[in-house]
Structure 1
């Protein structure tokens, strides 16, 4: 049991696969994490009105809150070699609330019904009364579930509330309706939350690496590798689905939309396309500079050597004079034509930058 009263049942680790983990390891900017830890258990046995506050304490792993006791406890439950990401301050939670009879009303002055109040308080892990726009927000986050269960999913996680009485163990198995919901929460629904978290981890890592590459002249090899790794991510983690489990797909989509992941993915595609365009433009400019310099140097040199070979006395002294005239002609061409001068300066600067 944690200092906050959370009774742990199991710890499940969901890590990135080998190819995607290798892609993050190749980045010069280290990724914040490479996996997700799922802690399965039950909330403390407190009064119903205190459950939202209890959940708030359980998911808070900030080192500055309550001397970091909950964070230290969570870190101690992880296997050797695993640690909590330094940027993680609060856990995403998935919670299911049911009652033997009827759920009590949490806020007397709220316009939400009882199930709506529980959905709001447990989703936001707050004991404050829902605002006027709470009903609209819950509708946007709503999941299509069986009639006896209501649920919402978003950036904070998943909240499920039973709208009927929870049958006890002494009743026949065909009446223990909410056992299936609890099972789905610890399996499929938790995996949907983990998948969305993995997607966010990868996209954040790509975003930081692209921002780092944009600070200097990009290299074709690094840009090409990022484009390839992003394509693998789009065809694997981003394109994955849960088959006929529409609820799991809806959980992932709600979290993606709330965290802005679709926009982040499109931004990455555009930014990598821009970096690739800059790489192509730089290579084209370098090629033009080389061709221009070859023409500016090679043409006078070839003409001078042809004239020297035709001289009656093609000796060493005349060769030096011919080479001197050729160098002077090349310098005059570069100084006279601004285009050649820009190509020469651009090539020289790029060569120094690569060194």
Structure 2
């Protein structure tokens, strides 16, 4: 909105003085699409609500809220050829790009949050966590930018949008939660590898011992070999019923063993 000379609540005093408090209140009403009758702004929170106001220049300011964004002039609009025409062009191009990038970031963070909540909805935890980590990496390399230009108000608008939607905090929470899931998958895989090694030990130790005894005795009897194999199977079955055997089988299943 570009004011005229009669819109004194939005204008700087004498054209160069300080802004009246009503200017930012008006800016907040434009950005929130509300009026004092719809939503009276509590005096105790005015500073917090207006902390992300961007002073683009002495001539105009911008404010980004969750409901929208507004640009307000602080000197009278002189009409055709006025600087505000250039400002309007900026608000519809580079400044709009900053807000659209923020919207893309918010949408992708919403999608990643949904993925996090569905990680345990499938038995293939490792695959889902790997997919989640890949999506996080793609988002970070493609969309997660906090600077749109080398300098200027577009960066401030993007940061204001991110702050309004808590995007940095939400993304940090996503990274922390995904790291926890990754550690859980690594722990389960380590348990399964340990369990597989334990099974090989339980299966191989009795059989290897029995075959070594036959070899030392130079016994080539088929009957004795079958007896040794049967005894090895029995010893293995007995070992699997012990606490260690139950822990090994539990590790293979990815669960915790019982004492």
For the criterion TM > 0.5, the same-fold answer is yes
Q: Hey, what's the Cα distance between the residues in 2 that align with 1:234 and 1:313?
A: 67
Counterpart check, 1:287 vs 2:193 = yes
| Closer, same or farther: CA 312–241 of 1 in aligned 2, 3 Å | closer
Paired position in structure 2 for 1:321:
227
CA RMSD, Structure 1 to Structure 2 (Å): 2.5
Counterpart check, 1:102 vs 2:6 = yes
What TM-score, normalized by structure 1, do the two folds share?
0.62
CA deviation after TM superposition for structure 1 residue 102, in Å: 2.4
SS at match of 2:7: coil
**Relative to total residues, which structure has the larger strand share, 1 or 2?**
1
Paired position in structure 2 for 1:302:
208
| Closer, same or farther: CA 135–329 of 1 in aligned 2, 3 Å | closer
Q: Hey, what's the Cα distance between the residues in 2 that align with 1:190 and 1:225?
A: 32
Q: What is the 5 A alignment of 1:35-184?
A: 97-103=1-7, 113-127=21-35, 128=37, 129-133=40-44, 135-169=46-80, 173=81, 176-184=82-90
CA deviation after TM superposition for structure 1 residue 185, in Å: 1.0
Paired position in structure 1 for 2:91:
185
Q: Hey, what's the Cα distance between the residues in 1 that align with 2:129 and 2:179?
A: 9
Larger Rg: 2
CA deviation after TM superposition for structure 1 residue 155, in Å: 2.0
Native 8 Å contact 2:24 2:50 kept in 1: no
Q: Which runs of no fewer than 5 residues in structure 2 stay unpaired?
A: 11-19
Q: Hey, what's the Cα distance between the residues in 1 that align with 2:228 and 2:157?
A: 79
The list of structure 1 runs, each at least 4 consecutive aligned residues, that deviate by more than 6 angstroms after superposition, is none
Aligned residues: 243
Q: Which runs of no fewer than 5 residues in structure 1 stay unpaired?
A: 1-96, 107-111
Alignment equivalent of 2:251, drawn from 346, 351, 354: 346
Q: Hey, what's the Cα distance between the residues in 1 that align with 2:143 and 2:160?
A: 16
